Amino acid sequence: MLETLSYMGQGFLNALTPLTLLLMAGGTAIGILIGCLPGLSAAMGVALLLPMTFTMSPESGLIVLGAIYCGAIFGGSISAILIHTPGTPASAATAIEGYQLTLQGKAGKALAVACFSSFCGGLLSCISLYFFAPLLAQLAMKFGSPEYFWLSIFGLTIIAGVASKSLLKGLISGALGLLLSTIGMDPIEGAQRFMFGQASLYEGINTTCALIGLFSMSQVLILAEKKIRQRAKANKFHDRIALSGKEIRRITPTILRSWIIGNLVGILPGAGASIACFLGYNTSRQFSKHKEEFGKGSIEGVAGSEAANNAVTGGSLIPMLTLGIPGESVTAVLMGGLIIQGLQPGPELFTRYAPMTYTFFAGFVLTQFLMLGIGLLGCRGFAQIARLSDAILIPSVAVLCVVGSFAIHKNFVDVVIMMVFGILGYLVRKFDLNPAAIVLALILGPIGEKGLRRSLLLSGGNPAILFSTPVCWVLIALCVFGVCSPILMNRMERKVMAASGGDASEEDTLPPRTSE
């Protein structure tokens, strides 16, 4: 306990250096910018800026990526409130009440509520990150090869969870990703697999290139196929971006409820901020003493949605950092960032690399304060940038994709791989397959393969070793749950959407859940 407290304190000392604070502020501002631009998503932003963190220390790199993540989730609310277009799916529910407030000339109030609630949601989510992550990591320390095999299978069943429409198509996407993950050297035999004479494929497909291609370049192609339209002008507002003590007291219970909801949704693999925002919004309506305001501009509605989606951020890091299971696309990209730094998610992050991990946690806490400051001060500016045309975004993002993938190994083959994955990602999204599932399989495939083959080596080829411990059976049960949960989750999402006044057509106009 004392050791943990000392790591926590040391983490804050490490994170409070001027350079780290500057990087944090930069990451948060970039995240807000990406979030408030409709068409760009948090996963895309984190993937695009991943190569920028290569030369940084692991903790600084992770802090920057975490800051982009938090900033993007909050940034979506700016365009949702001012131009009635959620920047990310995570702010879809915010648009309902936020835009109504804007129409009443209370845009400043709506933005202040969104900013304050996002700050509280994010900050409170750090509590669970600090206390649950080490506990789960202790459990993971008891895992051997068979457990790691089942753990990766559990992670892969999440694919079914992130599959947007069809469970089978989600699983097919996962199997395709698994197959692509076998490219490179065999981990046990040392034989070449599907390398086709390319030495650059020795270590397999570069995950970062695949991430940039699947999330960022595919988005360029998605933007390129649509008619370029001038975005609606952001409504001008003259009221102060501030909250009174009475208003803070009024939204506090809503924020606390949404924090619990968002955190649980974040920890649950397969669920994401887009579900949390509607759950938070709906719960705020249920418990509100001013139900008549809902649909006409309720600050509680904005607070419920925004606190919940930002509470997801801390929660979603828990399974990724402790078990190596990214529950959704943004954490899959963040895990890619961790692996690039030479770190393997799992219990070691809380033992051998504990100083680095706790510095990242401290950075995550400090990011929330910076998000509050930058958000409150920069709302008006970000609102203007949110109008940036897709016509400018298309070539600009494409150039950044190319430079980003080239910077990894200073190798042109990586650029070609990124482009191939970009086209694959575009087709995958068009035909209802799932890019997040491919990424999860690319990351988890080698872990599962090593776990399986090491287990079989240890047992002399006897598969009974895979069922030899109670933990294995718990993980098998979780795998079954992982396959069944999306069916329940989809039903719940539809119910919540219907109860919140959203309809299918509205859902269709939003970016897919997986691209949060």
Partner 1 sequence: MKKTDIGVVAFMYAVCAFFFIASRSMKKEAQIYPVCIIILLFLLTTGYVVKMLLDAKRQGVTSGLGEIFAGFQAKQFFVILGLLIVYLAGIYFVGFYLSTVVLMLASLLFLRVPLWQILISVVVVLGLVYGAFVLFLNVSLPVGLLFK
List 142, 165, 193, 233, residue binding partner 1 (CB under 8 A): 193
Residue 431 in the binding site for partner 1 (CB under 8 A): yes
The CA distance from 303 to 295, in Å, is 14
Q: Give the number of residues in contact with partner 1, rule: CB under 8 A.
A: 53
- Cα 148 to Cα 152: distance, rounded to the nearest angstrom: 6
CA-wise closest residue to 482 among 143, 133, 150: 150
Q: What angle do CA 482, 322, 337 make, to 5 degrees?
A: 100
Determine which residue in the list 104, 286, 389, 462 makes contact with partner 1, applying CB under 8 A. Answer: 389
Distance of CA 292 to the CA centre of its chain: 34
Q: In whole angstroms, what is the distance from residue 88 CA to residue 38 CA?
A: 7
The binding track of 285-324 with respect to partner 1, each residue x by CB under 8 A or -, is ----------------------------------------
* 221-260 residues near partner 1, rule: CB under 8 A: 221, 224-228
Q: Does 509 bind partner 1 (CB under 8 A)?
A: no
Q: Centre a 10 Å sphere on the Cβ of residue 379 and count the other Cβ atoms it contains.
A: 25
Q: Which is nearer to partner 1, 240 or 509 (CB)?
A: 509
Q: Does position 402 bind partner 1 by CB under 8 A? A: yes
Site for partner 1 in 437-496 (CB under 8 A): 449, 452-453
Kindly tell me which of 135 and 480 has the beta carbon lying closer to partner 1: 480
Phi, psi of 204 (to 5 degrees): 90, -175
Give how far Cα 314 sits from Cα of 5, 264, 265, 306, Å. Answer: 19, 10, 11, 14
**Residue selected from 1, 2, 191, 464 as contacting partner 1 according to rule CB under 8 A:** 191
* Residue 226: exposure state from Cβ atoms within 10 A (0-12, 13-18, ≥19): exposed
* Backbone φ, ψ for residue 512 (5° rounding): -65, 155
Question: Least distance (Å) from partner 1 to the CB of residue 428?
Answer: 9
Residues 406-425 binding partner 1 (CB under 8 A) are 406-407, 410, 412, 415-416, 419
**Residue 42 or 419 with smaller CB distance to partner 1:** 419
Of 81, 129, 366, 433, the residue at the interface with partner 1 (CB under 8 A) is 433
Q: Check residue 377 for interaction with partner 1 (CB under 8 A).
A: no
Query: What is the rounded distance in angstroms from the CA atom of residue 370 to the CA atom of residue 358?
Result: 18
Nearest-approach distance from CB 79 to partner 1, in angstroms? 20
When the beta carbons of 136 and 407 are compared against partner 1, the nearer one is 407
Distance CA 345, CA 323 (A): 6
- CA 304/CA 13 separation, integer angstroms: 33
The residue from 1, 3, 18, 55 that contacts partner 1 (CB under 8 A) is 55
> Alpha-carbon distance 79 to 336, whole Å?
29
Asked if residue 168 binds partner 1 (CB under 8 A), the reply is yes
Give one word for 507, left, alpha or beta, with left for phi > 0 and alpha for psi -120 to 50.
alpha
The residue (of 320 and 437) whose beta carbon lies closer to partner 1 is 437
Q: Which stretch of DSSP H or E encloses residue 192?
A: strand 192-193
Q: How far is CA 150 from CA 325, 345, 449, 466, in A?
A: 12, 16, 10, 8
CA dist list (Å): 176 to 19, 204, 425: 41, 15, 12
Residue 181 or residue 367: which is nearer to partner 1 going by CB?
Answer: 181
Tell which positions 206-225 bind partner 1, by CB under 8 A. Answer: 220-221, 224-225
Q: Nearest approach, Cβ of 405 to partner 1 (angstroms)? A: 11
Shortest CB 400 distance to partner 1, Å = 7
Which residue among 135, 242, 399, 477 contacts partner 1 (CB under 8 A)? 399
Q: How far is the CB of 406 from partner 1 (least distance, A)?
A: 7
Binding of residue 57 to partner 1 (CB under 8 A): no
Q: What is the rounded CA–CA span in Å between residue 213 and residue 191? A: 28
List 3, 5, 18, 189, residue binding partner 1 (CB under 8 A): 189
Q: Which of 9, 105, 373, 395 binds partner 1 (CB under 8 A)?
A: 395
**CB nearer partner 1, residue 264 or residue 416:** 416
Half-sphere exposure of 322 (CA within 13 A, CB side): 23
Q: Single out the residue of 78, 67, 25, 24 nearest to residue 42, CA to CA.
A: 67
Which of 29, 40, 52, 317 binds partner 1 (CB under 8 A)? It is 52
Report the nearest approach of partner 1 to the CB of residue 155 (Å): 15
Q: Which is nearer to partner 1, 81 or 452 (CB)?
A: 452
Q: What number of other Cβ atoms are within 10 A of residue 136's Cβ?
A: 16
Which residue type does 38 have?
Answer: P
The nearest distance, CB 303 to partner 1, in angstroms, is 35
Q: Which of 127, 392, 458, 474 binds partner 1 (CB under 8 A)?
A: 392
**What whole-number distance in Å separates Cα of residue 218 and Cα of residue 213?**
6
Applying CB under 8 A, which residues contact partner 1? 51-52, 54-55, 166, 168-169, 171-172, 175-176, 178-179, 182, 186, 188-189, 191-194, 196, 220-221, 224-228, 389, 391-392, 394-396, 398-400, 402-403, 406-407, 410, 412, 415-416, 419, 430-431, 433, 449, 452-453
